[in-house]
Amino acid sequence: MYRYDDFDRQLVLERTEQFREQVKRRLSGDITEDQFRPLRLMNGVYLQLHAYMLRVAVPYGTLRADQLRQLGYIARRYDKGYGHFTTRQNIQYNWPKLDEIPDALLDLAKVEMHAIQTSGNCIRNTTTDQYAGAAADEIEDPRPYCELIRQWSTFHPEFTYLPRKFKIAVTGSPNDRAAVKVHDIGLRMHQNDAGEVGFEVIVGGGLGRTPFVGKTVRDFIGKNDLFSYLEAILRVYNRFGRRDNKYKARIKILVHEIGVEEMQRLVEEEWAQIKGGSLRVDDAEIAHYIEQFAPPAFETLSDDDSEFERRKAENREFSNWVRSNVIAHKQPGYAIANVSLKPIGGIPGDATDTQMELVADLSEQYSFGDVRVTHEQNLVLPHVKKADLFSLWAELKNANLATANLGYVTDIISCPGLDYCALATARSIPLSQRISERFSDLDRQHDIGELKIKISGCINACGHHHVGHIGILGLDKRGKEFYQITLGGDASENAEIGKIAGAGFSEAEVVDAIESLVTKYLGIRETGERFIDTYRRVGMDPFKEVLYGDR
Amino acid sequence: MAIVKNDSVIDQEWITLDAEADLPPGEENIIVPLARFKEERETLIGRNGGLGVQLNPGDAPEDLANDLDRLSIITVHFPAYTDGRGYSYARVLRERLGFKGELRAIGDVLRDQILYMHRCGFDAYELKNDDDVSLTKVRAALKEMTVYYQPTGDGRVTAASLRERRRAALKSAS
Amino acid sequence: MSLQVVTANRLDDGLVVFLTADGGWSENIDQSRIADGKEAGDALLAEASVPELDTVIVGPYLIEVEQQDDGLVPTKYREVLRTKGPSVRQDLGYQAG
């Protein structure tokens, strides 16, 4: 894993000191709230419904044990004993005090972490596949490039006041777990005809009030040229992106309005001017970063572990967990273990200080001190020996962290919604809790199979409802919460924006509505079909009928 | 109002004209908006007295490519500090077109953006504060950070190149 | 007829506060100064929006309230949540007591 050197460390410390001064200037009245707001946002400090919120960056979703332990400490010391993992693989604290935030940032800096650019109209935390460096289906570990993007984008002097926020995601696997097609820039690693590995560049995807699936502006960009190419896209966006209307300021609107060909022309024209310049990264430097993410010291093992097989055969609960939460590893004898932060009836993505500390300990014991945060708001121990899975599971279970529901109907993405968020129009957490309780029966969940429900509490779509197989959008209708259902969304390599099924449902009706959709699917599915497959085969009408009948 | 350049407060020696204003008859130094420069180019470059151009958001700095030698100053207007287009204009002017004259940030120029402006190639800042406060602010802003990841035209050494030097030194030492 | 009070977040800790009768800020909505009607509401908000308060509170705005048996209750659910705390964590916020 990447370790800061003295330059990185110095930069974060200087930034922490700078923010401490800015807070001091704010509290003393030297700068107004209007002047302070963008400064605090650039440091991840929001003002939410009840209090300030601090969003801490987890670069490309990768954490070391000491970092996760420190996140637990911060939850206890500066907050109310918990944190919330987000769809950007970050963590949010809901109750920090402004005058204590500089100290919290200093404590983060001690473990090489920060809250830089977790808000504001700048380049946000780059996200990637949570299984990077472990997944069996991976072409190459994307994290060295993510780290290079992190550095290139941190305090980029030209791109700190963009028309709007800017999100980049990278996948190193053909099975896209990073939702790259719904990002401002999505990078998909693949091999070209010459056998070199590089990136397909997808631009202009995004959710929010005007969702789009991104479009390819370049089939292949070599690794050395990636950064000048990114700079070219950002410069085109900074110069030509709309600034007259906040809701039309994302790059997706620019791409939509001028067309992908014109976008391509502008980017290529800009790139031609800078591609030979100082942003070209040579092979030696790339190799240096690849080395930083070298695989841990795996043991040479057989892929079959008889003890593991015996435990599975003996213990149904364990084998259920393995079936849903354990994923194939590229190294024989190892597996990827997903730690669900979606206990039945719980708050999606929330973890207590002691849970964070426990997972940190377990990662040291079983996973080379490596932990990942997923955009679906769970944690991952990426490198666990199959022989250790049973003991790991038993310890997770004691801490209510072994819910066997990964990818199932109760593994719901939910934004904080009106319970915390100043922008929300409706609550989303209580709804996810009630759906989770309705489908709590594990056998039934396994029978239903993969079904991604995603809930947003307002049109900004932080809960990714547009790309949920079933998406739910909470709105306010004359002072009452009501919920609109979309169907057929997909965040994977087959990305699709879901379609609105029809009129919204009241808070009382919506869980029944979801259940009727699931029942319909179970009734008409063909062998091996997931919900999304059935939807694609039969279309909206049969589902619409169960929701609305003749209405 | 004060203009800070090269670690000191400088006098305002330029008259900024809008699209309509009459050209002063003498040898005054004038700055005109890009649109007016394009329309009245011949007259403007034929005059005695210094000439500068003001870029507003939406302008193309490339339009000045062939005239940069004639301009002593280019001002870039930030109508609001949140409008970051001027940063790109500065880099294009300095790094691509090779503009060597004064590049002055005007409009909503605040302390916390000055370092970014400097990194993009600005060398003068017009602040709304008085002389002393402005100078103090610019000085503080320019030394707030000492580590830079991006190679830009201001020539500050990047972390990547310092690392490379260090690796090379280690290699030759071993 | 509509009753209104002014709410904001306190600058240093960010918590929800209400403008009180003596010009201070309280965490308890029941200590709010109440304005009756649009004119009185505008005056109250103007009082809360003076620059001197920029170092005390952030983002003052008017909310509509109703006088109920157990005190003042905002008419909008969003504001009810602000007076209590997250509905999903009854152990947190003002509702926790």
- The model's pLDDT over A428-458, given as tens digits with 9 standing for 90+, comes to 999 999 999 999 999 999 999 999 999 999 9
Same domain flag for B160 and B99: no
Q: Per-residue confidence at A550, pLDDT binned at 50, 70, 90? A: low
Of B148, B151, B163, the CB nearest to A278: B151
**Contact between residue A107 and residue A76 where contact means Cβ atoms under 8 Å apart:** no
> How much is the pLDDT for B26?
87
For A51-85, give one letter per residue: b (16+ CB within 10 A) or e. bbbbbbbbbbbbbbbbbbbbbbbbbeebbbebbbb
| Number of neighbours of residue A42 by Cβ within 10 angstroms | 23
Residues of A in contact with C9 (CB under 8 A): 47, 51
Top residue of B112, B129, B148 to mutate, by most chain A CBs within 10 Å, is B112
Suggest the residue from A28, A49, A53 to mutate for an interface test with chain C (most C CBs closer than 10 A). Answer: A49
Nearest to C12 among A29, A98, A347 (CB): A98
CB atoms inside a 10 Å sphere around CB A173:
23
- Would you mind telling me the total number of residues written for chain A in this entry? 551
> How far does C47 lie from chain A, in Å, by closest CA?
17
- B107 in the same domain as B29: yes
Task: Kindly report the nearest CA distance between residue B8 and chain A, in angstroms.
Answer: 23
Query: What is the model's pLDDT at position A459?
Result: 95
The reply to whether A397 touches chain C by the CB within 8 Å rule is no
pLDDT value at position A549?
87
Residue B155 binned pLDDT confidence (cut-offs 50, 70, 90): confident
What pLDDT, on the 0 to 100 scale, is given for residue A479?
Answer: 81
Burial of A348 (0-12, 13-18, 19+ CB in 10 A): buried
Same domain, B23 and B63: yes
Q: Which two tokens stand for residue A185?
A: 């820039």
- Rounded Cα distance between C59 and C63, Å, is 12
With pLDDT > 90 as the criterion, what percentage of chain A qualifies? 97
CA angle, A377 then A379 then A385, to 5°: 155
Q: How far is CA A28 from the centre of its chain?
A: 37
pLDDT tens, residue by residue, B56-115: 999 999 999 999 999 999 999 999 999 999 999 999 999 999 999 999 999 999 998 999
Per the CB < 8 Å rule, is C78 touching A481? Answer: no
What's the confidence (pLDDT) of residue A76?
Answer: 98
Residues B136, B103 within the same domain: yes
Distance separating alpha carbons of residues A187 and A172, to the nearest angstrom? 8
Number of domains in chain B: 2
Q: Is A313 on the interface with C (CB under 8 A)?
A: no
Neighbours of A275 (CB within 10 A): 18
> Residue B168 corresponds to which tokens in the numbers above?
């090379």
> Do B68 and B117 lie in a common domain?
yes
CA dihedral of residues A379, A382, A386, A390 (deg, nearest 10): -20
Q: How far apart are CA A540 and CA A536, in angstroms?
A: 8
Per-residue pLDDT band for A138 (boundaries 50, 70, 90) equals: very high
Provide the mean pLDDT of chain A. Answer: 97
> Is A79 an interface residue toward C (CB < 8 Å)?
no
**What is the dihedral sign for C-alpha A192, A196, A197, A199?**
negative
Domains, in order of start, for chain A? 6-110 (3.90.480.20), 142-287 (3.30.413.10), 306-398 (3.90.480.20), 413-548 (3.30.413.10)
Pick from A97, A429, A430: which is nearest to C12 by CB?
A97
- Stated as kind and residue range, the H or E segment containing C44 is helix C38-48
Q: What is the C-alpha to C-alpha distance for residues A496 and A316, in angstroms, rounded to an integer? A: 36
Spell out which residues of chain B touch residue A162, defining contact as CB-CB under 8 Å. 84
CA angle B54, B57, B61 (to 5 degrees): 60
Which residues, in sequence order, are bridge partners of residue B53?
B32, B74
Check residue A74 and give its pLDDT: 98
* Chain CA centroid to CA A194, Å: 32
pLDDT number for residue A551: 61
Give kind and range of the element (H or E) at residue A260.
Answer: helix A260-274
pLDDT at A52 over 90: yes
DSSP single-letter state for residue C94: G
C-beta of residue A487 within 8 angstroms of C-beta of residue A520: no
Are B78 and B106 in contact by the 8 Å Cβ rule? The answer is yes
pLDDT at C1: 52
Between chain A and chain B, how many beta carbons pairs sit less than 8 Å apart? 90
Identify whether C14 is part of a domain.
Answer: yes
Q: Measured between alpha carbons, how far is residue A349 from residues A86, A217, A411, A473 in Å?
A: 7, 34, 10, 18
β-pairing verdict for B124-127 and B102-107: parallel
Q: What is the DSSP letter of A123?
A: B
Helices then strands (H, E): number in chain B?
Answer: 6, 8
Enter the tokens of residue A320. 């259920």
Which tokens hold the place of A112? 């090489």
Rounded CA separation A334/A384 (Å): 5
Confirm whether C97 is domain-assigned: no
Angle subtended by helix axes A6-27 and B159-173, to nearest 10: 150
Run of H or E residues at A336? strand A334-339
| Cα A408-A413-A418 angle, rounded to 5 deg | 140
Q: Quote the domain boundaries for residue B151.
A: 147-174
Mean pLDDT of A41-65: 97
Task: Kindly state whether residues B22 and B34 are assigned to the same domain.
Answer: yes
Distance CA A524, CA B90 (A): 61
ipTM score assigned to the predicted complex: 0.97
Q: Which amino acid, B65?
A: A
Question: Over the stretch A523-539, which tens digit does the pLDDT of each residue have?
Answer: 999 999 999 999 999 99
Strand arrangement, sheet containing A91-93: A45-47, A52-56, A91-93, A82-85, A350-352
Q: In this structure, are B10 and B62 located in the same domain? A: yes
For residue C72, tell me if it sits in a domain.
yes
Distance from C-alpha of A346 to C-alpha of A325, rounded to nearest angstrom: 18
The per-residue pLDDT for B87 is 98
The answer to whether B76 and B103 have CB atoms below 8 angstroms apart is: yes
CB-CB contact of A77 with A103 (8 Å): no
> Percentages helix, strand, coil for chain B, rounded to the nearest 5?
40, 20, 40
CA nearest A32 in C: which residue?
A: C54
Q: Are strands A334-339 and A326-328 parallel, antiparallel or unpaired?
A: antiparallel
For tokens 């199979």, what's the residue?
A: A449
DSSP A128-155: E-TTTTTBTT-SS--HHHHHHHHHHHTT
B112 touching chain A per CB within 8 A: yes
pLDDT digits (tens, 9 = 90+) for A335-355: 999 999 999 999 999 999 999
pLDDT at res. B153: 86
Q: Cα dist. A438→A4, A248, A442, A535, B65 in Å?
A: 46, 39, 11, 22, 67
β-bridge partners, C74: C65
Contact C88 A419 (CB under 8 A): yes
Residue at C39 is within a domain:
yes
Q: What are the structure tokens assigned to A326, written together?
A: 């354990």
- Beta-strand relationship, C25-26 and C16-19: antiparallel
Quick check: A493 and A174 in contact, CB under 8 A?
Answer: yes
Question: Range of C52's domain?
Answer: 3-91
Please identify among residues 457-486 of chain A the ones whose CB lies closer than 8 Å to any CB of chain C: 479, 481
Q: What is the pLDDT of residue A227?
A: 97
What is the least distance, in Å, from the CA of A25 to any CA of chain C?
Answer: 10
Residues in a beta bridge with A455: A414, A472
* Higher per-residue pLDDT: A226 or A30: A226
- Residues in chain A within 8 Å Cβ distance of B82: 38, 121, 161
Read off the CATH number of the domain in which B117 is found: 3.20.20.70
* Number of compact structural domains in chain C: 1
Up-side HSE of residue A514: CA atoms within 13 Å toward CB? 31
pLDDT tens string B26-63:
899 999 999 999 999 999 999 999 999 999 999 999 99
The per-residue pLDDT for A73 is 98
The arithmetic mean of pLDDT across residues A99-119, rounded, is 97
Per-residue pLDDT tens for A155-192? 999 999 999 999 999 999 999 999 999 999 999 999 99
Strand partners, A499: A487
Structure tokens at A409: 């109907």
* C96 falls within a domain: no
Q: Which residue has the tokens 């529901």?
A: A405
Low-confidence ranges of chain C (pLDDT < 70): 1
Q: How many residues does chain C have?
A: 97
